[in-house]
Amino acid sequence: MPLSLTEESYLSVSLSQRPPCRPDGRDQLQFRPIDAAAGILPTTNGSARIRLDDGGECIVGVKAEVIAVSRPDDVHVEVDCDIVGLLPSSPLQNLLCSTLETAIKNSLPSRLLRITTKYRYKIFVDGIILDHVSHPLTLFSMTTYLALLDTRLPRLAPDSIGGNDNDKDEIGIPQFSSDWADSDRLCMSWSPPLVQLAIIVGKNVFVDATGEEAEVSDGGLLTVWHDGRVVGLRVVKTRDSSKQVFSINSISNAVEVLASASRDIEKALKEIRTS
């Protein structure tokens, strides 16, 4: 439901004053509670579900396929998501998929997907966003992160591996171990990228914005967090008529805020996976 003029001005004044006052009394850096679970779907290599306080929910399943490749160094990852209520290939869906896909492709070392010289794993990350009230990017990224943490790839069957590495590469079609426990975690040495979105209102930056807060924002900024630092940055439109003009200060402020938020979220999500 669109905000009335009075509501809009009330919200934008309270969000842009210093210190800001959010409608739900949260801190600028505070997230709403989330309900998360990993490893929920037996037909996938890795899966996760996250539900937000406002009813937003996302389920992500990661599946691996064996493909024959000609160029060995390519990383084959496909990210796809289905936002219920929106048509396929809507701008929002494109933003979500392309951001995540680029982030994963750029950070995932190709050796992790190697099976033999000729064969590689191709990773499919598929998400369904069952419902969203606020911007679904953070939700989708967190769920994907958790699902990738949960992902296991089967090892080659012991009897199909010959005495040395050359023999192993000669084998035509790889044979996998039939024991599901005989598998490697994808994220043993690699940690997936985490995309976070913040909205900017005046000089203030807010994480995990509700739908109403995004309605009065000047715009949004997303950062890609990987390996303890911010590796990517992009300005996002958070509403139809946003100005998308920010000062350098507010952008650097937003990057700092998002970096510290991403660090905390990464820690929290890793705890969910291990618990």
Partner 1 sequence: MASRIEIYSPEGLRIDGRRWNEVRHFRCAINTHPVSSDGSSVIEQGNTKVICNVIGPAEPTLRSRVISDRVSISVKLVVAPFSMIERRKRPQNDSRIQEMCSSIQHMFEDAVIAHLFPRSQIDVNLYIVAQDGGVLQACINATTLALIDAGVPMYDYVCACTAGMLDREVLLDLNRIEESAMPFLTMATIGGTRKVSLLQLEMTVQFDRLEPMMAAAMSGCHHIRDLMDSEVRKHGKSRLERGSF
The residue among 19 and 42 lying less far from partner 1, judged by its C-beta, is 42
The residue among 6 and 43 lying less far from partner 1, judged by its C-beta, is 43
Asked if residues 78 and 125 have their Cβ atoms less than 8 Å apart, the reply is yes
Compute the distance between CA of residue 252 and CA of residue 52 in angstroms, rounded to an integer: 28
The residue among 132 and 226 lying less far from partner 1, judged by its C-beta, is 132
The residue among 20 and 127 lying less far from partner 1, judged by its C-beta, is 127
Six token digits for residue 234 = 């992009």
Six token digits for residue 89 = 């290939």
Shortest Å distance, C-beta 132 to partner 1 = 9
Shortest Å distance, C-beta 5 to partner 1 = 24
Shortest Å distance, C-beta 105 to partner 1 = 18
The residue among 33 and 158 lying less far from partner 1, judged by its C-beta, is 33
Shortest Å distance, C-beta 203 to partner 1 = 33
| HEC secondary structure over the chain | CCCCHHHHHHHHHHHHCCCCCCCCCCCCCCCCCEEEEECCCCCCCEEEEEEECCCCEEEEEEEEEEEECCCCCCCCEEEEEEECCCCCCCHHHHHHHHHHHHHHHHHCCHHHHECCCCEEEEEEEEEEEEECCCCHHHHHHHHHHHHHHHCEEECECHHHCCCCHHHHHHCCCCCECCCCCCEEECCCCCCCCEEEEEEEECCEEEECCCHHHHHCCCEEEEEEEECCEEEEEEEECCCCCCCCCCCHHHHHHHHHHHHHHHHHHHHHHHHHHHC
Shortest Å distance, C-beta 82 to partner 1 = 6
The residue among 84 and 268 lying less far from partner 1, judged by its C-beta, is 84
The residue among 20 and 192 lying less far from partner 1, judged by its C-beta, is 192
Residues found near partner 1 in the complex (CB under 8 A) = 41-44, 47, 51, 53-57, 59, 61-63, 65, 80, 82, 84, 88, 124, 126, 128, 130-131
Shortest Å distance, C-beta 129 to partner 1 = 10
Shortest Å distance, C-beta 44 to partner 1 = 5
